[in-house]
A and B are shown apart, each in its own frame.
Chain A
Amino acid sequence: MNEPVVVQGLTKYFYDESRGEVRAVQEVDFACRAGEIFGLLGANGAGKTTTLRMLATILAPTAGTASLLGHDVVREPEEARRHLGFYSSSTALYPRLTARETIEFFARINRYPAAQIAQRVGELIERFGIASYADVRVDRLSTGMKQKVSIARTVAHDPPVLIFDEPTVGLDVLNALELQERIREFRAQGKTIVFSTHIMSEAEKLCDRIAIIHGGRILACDTLDGLRRATGMRYLEDIFVCCVKGRE
């Protein structure tokens, strides 16, 4: 298999005080190609974040395997992370660093070649329109500004795989649209993007393939047209409901 992201039988159980044993993710399989936006579409609690956290090596799988560019997330977590940019609404920035320092730090710690860091930071500041506040501390920036810095730090080391876990949560329409535009740019650069959302329109517009996840299991995985053909429905919202109801 040559796909940059390969997930096979990925499973995660954990024990929760109030709910007992929770089967958050059960035998999930998928693979993502280079230059593709792969969408994980599911309601809250469906298992999207847990799946992506296992890919990002924050959580260890209970069973199954996952690899990023051939690096197993359990056996070679550091190598896997070196090729990964992880963005989510819960991954915050360091408030006491400036935008420039933030991008520089993440480039360094992800082992981007030291000699090229200054040039890379300059490029990202230019490309993301951060120049006017590059030397301002993050805690003094607006939400939109922080979002740009956050995306810049995600790609600071130019990773081939990017994970966006519900990235537009809490953003206004304009900022959400801008973020979607950035993600398309990354696809154009040939990066592999795993994108999770519970917003149907976002998945519809952005994703090349969509996996519908519910109760920790993938119920359907195909292009939008493929899902339409399989269910006989036009809108993603109806397709989603059809899959979930069919399962229940």
Chain B
Amino acid sequence: MNRESVRILFLHEMRMLARDRRTVILAIVLPLLVMPLMLYVVRSIERQRARSLKETTFRYALSGAEAGTVRRLIAARRAPGLRLEELPVTDAEAALRARRIHFHVRALSAGEAAALEEAEGEVSRRRPREAPAAPGEEAARPAGVPLVEIRFQGDREESRAGAAAMKEYLLEAARSERDRLLRERGWAMDPADLFRLERRSVAGAAQAAGSQIGKFLTLFFVMFLLSGGSVAALDSVAGEKERGSLETLLTTAARRSEIVAAKQLAILCVALAILLVNVANILAYVNFKLIELPADWEIAIGPAAPAVMVALLIPVGVFLSAVLLSLSAYARSYKEAQLYFFPVYLVSLVPAVAAVLPGVSLRSAIVLVPLANVSVAVREVLAGRFDWPMIALAAAVMVLAARGTMRLSTRMLSDERLITAADLDAAAWARGPALFSRHVFAWYAVMAAVLFAAAVNFPQLHSFRTQLLFNELVLFLGGSFLMIWKYRLPVRDALALRRPRAAVWPAVVAAVPAGHLAAAGVFRLADLVVPVPQRLLEQFGRELMPADVPAWQLYLFVALLPGICEEIAFRGPLLYGLRRRFRPATLVLVVGAIFGVFHIALFRLIPTAFLGMVLTALALLTGSIFPGMLLHAGNNAYAYWLARRNIPVSEWSWGWYAAGAAVFAACLYAIYRARTPYPGLHRVDAPRK
């Protein structure tokens, strides 16, 4: 590599970027001007809101047989700063809806409460008096206990705030009343003096603060670097392709590797500059008290920590800038690169949150996972724990990953299909299926973005049924048929609606339990890399198998729908669109990985990607979507059946997994023997003479 060429190209890139108004405004001016302004406005609004709530006299109505008791409690204990006014109303609910009162306190006797719960069908929620509520569980009313219910309008700020204040107020009043009763019945001491409870960390304040910062430092570094670097990266290759200047550059004496090195250096510099601007911005806010730190905040970083962090984070910067450059080189236009950016951004954040996961130690297989290893290592370093061999290993893995990604971006800049695609093939003119092959990644990127955005922004989709119905029917099935319609894809080919040989079916049936065992083994192996907290698994199990949904519905939602809709989405248009872009082995990896990414949660990524790869291989071997549907639905139904019977496959010995894998391999071999391959797969360019 000629250093002088790299220097010339780097200076050229920097000059081009500095003259791009879009870069300068988005990356430098906006954070400098908009962020302080936004913070100032948000703080002003918050102060005004707090003042307004403080000055509000909360009007409420009191009803029910126990109203007198509650009225006495309220009267006996006036909270400082809380202004309350009881309004006499005949219909409290109507008054609440008409906004004449802020909230309604319904004080019911035990009998009234039981009758109400009966009417509302909440009997199942009531627990026996002696059964304590589980930690984190909303305590249900024990039998024979009166119920005080504060009813408010959740869509009104004042109503919400008033109800919350009243709840705290009544809880405190109830505690005072309890203490008074204890004293009246002869409890000699003040209940508060039973014992004194204290928490004391043996780690110093600086260590605790370092650990807290360390959890998020790599994540923020990755976020800022990707968002800042993208400004330069997207313009750097995709923008050049669009303008036609890339071809001009490629006909100069500069090597591809020199061009890549210069562009990557420019991206890294811009990303780091933007990162510094943002860090300086945040420090300025802290200095001017726009951001307030906790009172006991203390940071003490030893002399080794900064050097170690630089050694860890620089390869991360190189790796991410190479990822961005590869993305930009892969896209055919600036717009296409923007489409790819969001999923790449999300996927890159997943390993960066490793430090936040409880119980993840650097002295585990995670040290071999790029980004995740640095995330954990930085947390350890900032907490003052220097495990030198593992830190060195993490840095080495990250350097290797950065080097590999740099090579990938160099190869992409040499790929004829990517640098001259516009006129090498007639897809853009032919439209239809040929154009779909070019757009297929963009479609699935948008689908992933919609899936993520919908899950985060629409609480209506948080229930078991609505979420599955939206994902399976609207997104996967609807999205697939939209692609088929838009690109006029032949339905039979795009969905692989072909009949496999009869011998395939018994092999698939046998593969269901065997594959499940093998997948459980893979999950155990993945657990060594990214240990999944038991709490998370239990929560996932509860979400996937809610107690109030009948078994037949669970089989429908968990097994049948995904078996059909997900196979159509991932072994339908996706596989059809990519079939000629990759060789079969790569195709299996790519489609499987995309399938895994759509399952969002980090701990599900590896097992679902594995399942996705198996299902893709099955589709390629049989040329049909149907065996995959059977295996997918069968696998999910079998998993549910095991869970209902509390059969803990995940705790079995490794021998079982090995046996499962062997049987599964035998099934795949049987399917291979009866194969009818997927038609029209990637063909290799004619060999050179």
Contacts and interface: CB of A to CB of B under 8 A. Distances in A.
Given A96-B20, A109-B253, A90 B247 contact: yes
A121 B632 CA distance: 67
Interface in B426-444: 426-427, 430, 432-434, 437-438
Range of interface residues on A (Cβ < 8 Å): 35 or more
Contact of A105 (B12, B250, B686): B12
Which of A53, A109, A110, A111 has the largest count of B CB atoms less than 10 A from its CB? Answer: A109
A197 interface: no
Interface string A174-209: 000000000000000000000000000000000000
Interface in B221-276: 243-245, 247-248, 250-255
Contacts of A96: 15-16, 19-20
B419 A16 contact: no
Contact of A17 (B250, B419, B434): B434
Interface in B511-542: none
A61 B688 CA distance: 8
A62 B416 contact: no
A95 B17 CA distance: 12
Contacts of A153: 248
B689 A64 contact: yes
B248 A18 contact: no
Contacts of B8: 105, 108-109
A200 B5 CA distance: 41
Contacts of A94: 16, 243, 245
A17 B243 contact: no
B86 interface: no
A220 interface: no
B423 interface: yes
Contact of A92 (B16, B245, B250, B254): B245
Nearest to B425: A16
A49 interface: yes
Range of interface residues on B (Cβ < 8 Å): 35 or more
B15 A97 contact: yes
Contacts of A72: none
Given A58-B419, A96-B16, A97-B15, A14 B253 contact: no
B646 to A, nearest CB: 51
A65 B427 CA distance: 29
B434 A106 contact: no
Which of B20, B420, B687 has the largest count of A CB atoms less than 10 A from its CB? Answer: B420
B253 A111 contact: yes
A157 B8 CA distance: 15
Nearest to A114: B4
Contacts of B683: 15, 21
A15 B253 contact: no
Given A17-B434, A101-B15, A109-B8, 15 more contacts: A11-B689, A15-B685, A18-B430, A22-B425, A53-B420, A78-B253, A78-B255, A90-B244, A91-B251, A93-B248, A94-B16, A94-B245, A96-B19, A96-B20, A110-B252
26 contacts: A14-B424, A17-B433, A17-B434, A17-B580, A18-B425, A19-B425, A19-B426, A21-B683, A53-B420, A56-B251, A58-B250, A62-B687, A62-B688, A62-B689, A91-B244, A91-B245, A91-B248, A91-B251, A92-B243, A92-B245, A94-B243, A95-B243, A105-B12, A109-B253, A111-B253, A157-B253
Interface of B: 5, 8-9, 12, 15-16, 19-20, 243-245, 247-248, 250-255, 416-417, 419-420, 423-427, 430, 432-434, 437-438, 580, 683, 685-689
